[in-house]
Structure 1
């Protein structure tokens, strides 16, 4: 158990819910684009079978589909039509088709996916851009979470809530439905695809799911570390570094948003972006962007760059020192600015691959200088928190300051998420 009495574990738990589903394209083993266009494919065969139905039978089938699935998704017919638009090659051998046939064919090439059936973990937290109606001393926040479903595919989902003046945390009700965004544009660049996504205004924050779009992300958008970036001109941009996983390789990428409704996803380049766990400072330092990263899978580096999307070099500033972090250390999100310096939450890996959370205080004017660090973890797995998909792990992708407190969402055994608050003065007093 943690030796620190200033850490207060809170009541809210965010657990995976297999009832939350999105509807996604179903791709048979071969689609028309995969083979010679003159050759009949499995997709063609499915279309042929639907087209062979009488008009009445097709209408009955579509009505049954809607009766079964319409209450589980918004605008389901439009989703069927959009999917049919992607199947034009499969329609090529048919001279005409009705709107009912087209919608029914779209339905045959879609499936439901329970995006958080397996896990809901590795959260980060930022103040909500809209604080309208919030009482004095309170703060509305947004939590980002890594959701994992069938096939261990990771996506990004969100929740909102309120932290009261005394640190009490409440979570807003989660939307019953879930939605994928529209792809506004996708541009291929030298280092990969830039993708702009937009959700509909009527999609509640908790209904928004960012699912892998590009090949580099195809097996997961993992561990987003959100932060509120001060542009220095009175405006705030929300950035998140995350790991894109293709199934065979990883790289760091960046999300940018101002409203959590439209998002721009771009790859990062440079030698430092070939690993995971990058944490961006929330403002420029001496005119440059700054990042905490771990290029060598073991130590933490401080990197400066004139270009937000290119990261190279760096100076090693933190190496494993204490037994709870002998295997490796890493950052747990963006550094938090305090009057005393930059507070950097870290994770350490110890014996039997046990993950714990600690903290480091960096010099405010020169973050390469380590002023103090945790000799013992702030948070380590409690007996009730050891079991899960990956045992003996507590982990966070970012905390935030709220008055005299640090609000810390953290994941338990790569399965569900919990919250704690930490008194800043006591935390700093515990560092050596």
Structure 2
């Protein structure tokens, strides 16, 4: 730490300097024509009526109507028949047993209970960026990347979408063409839950009691969702011993909130949309902060913390993937899992997982844990101290490891709710210590960037470093996104060393 500190002091010339930030001409804009399908199931009382109207059609009229629907929609979705079949199955229980339903009318009924949803119609913002799992067949000095973005559509429901591209050796960017198709994943029912971990999460929720014990006592060390539901049914049907309804509700909630999804591996990553599935994220999946995590055995896993929103409350959650095709969605538990803006460090520190957070909505905190899913204590890391962050501060994604320390992009909120992007440097061995910071913002909204859905905002959910250049994808006023770059050496030279005592500036 002492050597790194002296290097910083030698480079800093006591005058406030701003690093040279270059904004690229790239603009990642919303595209309202990119649509997914959603089930469009109305009130239960209306479902049989709608089905009945379809069944009254002659077979010829049904074929004509289905042909007309396909004419307008088959070119917008790769698997329209499968979509109609899935949504038919959602309402098939309302069809009388004696009714004869032809394959044509099954598809037609499914079509009436299907709707399109434009995931990007309102905004495309708050990006993060990580190296692509596949770095094969690239020119020397280039890197392939994946960028995640928060997409917002009708009703301000947020989801996660992706872009990909290449950063060339000359620091130019190639953004891959975006597919005209988008698709949501399928829930994987072949995955198993870990009984011990499930029980720990229930106990963390103060939801472990006699009813919970009865549900789990006959389950194996790993169990499927169907095995869990069967055991819940056994407990509910036991007439001799009553059960606690709230306990069953908590078990179901936890199972629904920890689930597994899979995309078609043959689809381009720009076609992947992670759309809300569970109840606690029903109103949006917000601000995914992706990180390339290196385990102690050298294996790589991609994690992303995000905020689940149900219209009333928020809940920090975790995404896990190896390939951006299969994803595990995981609840984060513990007393310190509060508020927004959690960002995982890319490796363990002194044998523990580490994560940045903002549990009080105002200050930056750091947390450590023996288990990735459980976070119980937070340590105050940084309070607002500069005018451009007087209102509140937070992180702009996971820390980046460099020789001088852990580089953390921050966001500060100043007067008139203007958002800025700044930077601090944490000690490599003890990241509870801030050893340097920028006195002036790294990025300030310019005249073009300050106009949008939420004015006067620049914001990022994660950057990467390539060839000594910091690559910062960032949102512009919550409506569109761009990319900026800055030299790491220039950035470090402009940071002001911070004394150990109360962050006193040297």
Question: What is the CA deviation profile of residues 351-409 of structure 1, one whole-angstrom value per residue up to 9, with x for unaligned ones?
Answer: 00000000000000000111011111000101111100000000000001112111100
Equivalent positions of 1:84-99 (< 5 A) are: 84-92=88-96, 94-99=98-103
Kept after mapping to 1: 8 A contact 2:19/2:494: no
Partner of 1:358 in structure 2?
A: 422
Write 1 or 2 for the structure with the bigger share of strand.
1
* 57-66 vs 221-230, which moves further: 57-66
The match for 1:388 is 452
The answer (yes or no) to whether the contact 1:146–1:156 under 8 Å persists in 2 is: yes
Corresponding residue to 1:338 among 392, 402, 413: 402
What is the Cα deviation at residue 93 of structure 1? Answer: 5.4
Give the superposed CA RMSD: 1.4
Q: Could you report, residue by residue, the CA deviation over 1:228-279 in whole angstroms, capped at 9, with x for unpaired residues?
A: 0001212100000000000111010000000001111111111222211000
Q: In structure 1, what is the Cα distance between the partners aligned to 2:421 and 2:97?
A: 60
Higher helix share: 2
SS at match of 1:116: coil
Deviations 1:130-179 (A, max 9, x none): 01111110100000000000000000000001111232112100001111
Q: 1:308 and 2:372 equivalent?
A: yes
Distance 1:241 1:24 in 2: 25
Give the C-alpha shift of residue 89 in structure 1: 2.0
Shift of 1:192: 5.7
Closer, same or farther in 2 for the Cα pair 1:192/1:181, shift >3 Å? Answer: closer
Structure 1 length as normaliser, TM-score? Answer: 0.95
Match of 2:149 among 138, 142, 145: 145
What is the alpha-carbon distance in structure 2 between the residues aligned to residue 124 and residue 334 of structure 1?
9
Aligned to 2:196: none
Provide the residue aligned with 1:253 in structure 2: 317
State the partner residue of 1:78. 82
Runs of 4 or more consecutive aligned structure 1 residues displaced over 6 Å after TM superposition: none
Contact 1:354 1:393 in 2 (8 A): yes
Identify if the C-alpha distance between structure 1 residues 313 and 5 changes in structure 2 by more than 3 Å, giving closer, same or farther: closer
Q: Do 1:125 and 1:141's aligned partners in 2 also have CA atoms closer than 8 Å?
A: yes
- Aligned match of 1:25: 39
Aligned-partner SS, 2:104: helix
Other-structure match for 1:109: 113
Q: What runs of 5+ residues in structure 1 fail to find an aligned partner?
A: 32-40
Aligned to 1:178: 182
Cα distance between partner residues in 2 of 1:294 and 1:338 = 23
Q: Separation in 2 of the partners of 1:322 and 1:4?
A: 15
2:29 equivalent in structure 1: 15
1:120 aligns with 2:124: yes
Structure 2 length-normalised TM:
0.82
Aligned pair count reads 421
Is the 8 Å Cα contact of residues 400 and 406 (structure 1) preserved in structure 2? yes
Alignment gaps of 5+ in structure 2? 1-15, 192-224, 226-251, 497-506
Structure 2 distance, partners of 1:337, 1:125, is: 15
1:141 touches 1:162 (CA, 8 Å); kept in 2? yes
Q: Is the 8 A contact 1:191 1:268 kept in 2?
A: no
Q: Look up the match of 1:160.
A: 164
Residues 1:238 and 2:302 are matched in the alignment: yes
SS at match of 1:256: strand
Which sits farther off after the overlay, 232-241 or 85-94?
Answer: 85-94
